[in-house]
Amino acid sequence: MKTLIVIDVQNDFIPGGSLSVPNGDKIVPIINSIQDKFDLVVASQDWHPQNHISFASNHNGKKTFEAIEVLGKSQTLWPDHCVQGTVGSEFHPDLKTDSWETIFRKGTDPNIDSYSAFYDNGHLKSTGLTGYLKEKGATQLFFCGLAADICVYYSVKDAIQEGFECFFIEDASQPLDAATFKIQKKELLKLGVKMISFKET
């Protein structure tokens, strides 16, 4: 089954949002145009409590984009973003959501971040996405959304590990840091991920 996974196309990641991804708004019409090509469409949504560990505002004397250690791993400190129930956490108003079967919320635990739509950053807790997709009979996963180098990248890596065939729709995603994404692309290609254009979906 051909499945589209729309990652975190939320207001705070759109230009003008608190953690804006350059050209993040440009992918919205592209994602809208391809949804009807899939048997199943699901989405992830960053959904942080206000006291989230990844917010620089919750660490005295720390600035945004500094790093701290959480569970032995480096954690970037972000501006407050996608706080539960805020306008910033909502999906872009022009994004079509009618065909979405369900939404998986992530980053809900205040003590650990969750870039991937499948697991938190420590791989301690699953969101349930793997089990859901396998029960539905999904085999081919097509990823798009924001940001390409963070939440989309980590979601694809987890999906590969879970045994899915993965496609990364490049022009339906945008990175926060283009240089980082260039390196990540090479890694994903080695793992067997297919990089495609939205026209190839």
Residues annotated catalytic, as ranges: 8, 106, 151
Type of residue numbered 103: I
The C-alpha atoms of residue 159 and residue 151 are separated, in whole angstroms, by: 12
β-bridge mates for residue 165, sequence order: 140
Q: φ, ψ for residue 195 (rounded to 5)?
A: -90, 120
The C-alpha atoms of residue 26 and residue 144 are separated, in whole angstroms, by: 12
- Under DSSP, the state recorded for 25 is G
The C-alpha atoms of residue 92 and residue 36 are separated, in whole angstroms, by: 19
Contact predicate 181/153, CB 8 Å = yes
Q: Is 94 helix (H, G, I), strand (E, B) or coil?
A: coil
Contact predicate 107/113, CB 8 Å = yes
